[in-house]
Amino acid sequence: AQSVTQLDSHVSVSEGTPVLLRCNYSSSYSPSLFWYVQHPNKGLQLLLKYTSAATLVKGINGFEAEFKKSETSFHLTKPSAHMSDAAEYFCVVRSDSSYKLIFGSGTRLLVRP
């Protein structure tokens, strides 16, 4: 069965420094992977997705994620954090059998001024 593990429940960075949010997946086949973002009192929004094309995926607001099959990872990065990036981020894998989206437990990103 597919699953994702987000290794950090909270990440704190200073504004202007790089962001790294870690995600490892478990999947039998070539997975479809996503990152969603949830700002306070807002609905979840798709940030980016990987569906077996280029391994480096670019998303909105300057975020990127790299699919590494050898490490079963799909970490989310951004070169320079902005205050508006403070939110909760969810790594998501799509089930091969049911096509359901399976969410990780989330990483809360805090950006310090």
Partner 1 sequence: EAGVAQSPRYKIIEKRQSVAFWCNPISGHATLYWYQQILGQGPKLLIQFQNNGVVDDSQLPKDRFSAERLKGVDSTLKIQPAKLEDSAVYLCASSLGGGAHHTGELFFGEGSRLTVL
Q: Pick the closer one to partner 1 by CB: 9 or 84.
A: 9
Could you tell me the smallest distance in angstroms from the CB atom of residue 45 to partner 1? 7
The region, left, alpha or beta by phi > 0 then psi within -120 to 50, assigned to residue 97 is: alpha
- Beta-ladder partners of 6: 23
Q: Which residues contact 85 (CB under 8 A, 6 or more apart)?
A: 19, 61, 78, 109, 111
Could you tell me the smallest distance in angstroms from the CB atom of residue 113 to partner 1? 26
Q: Pick the closer one to partner 1 by CB: 14 or 26.
A: 26
CA angle 48, 50, 54 (to 5 degrees): 110
User: Would you give the binding string for partner 1 spanning residues 34-73, x where CB under 8 A is met?
Assistant: x------xxxxxx--x-x----------------------
Residues of the shown chain interacting with partner 1 in the complex, contacts defined by CB under 8 A: 9, 32, 34, 41-46, 49, 51, 90, 92, 94, 98-101, 103-106
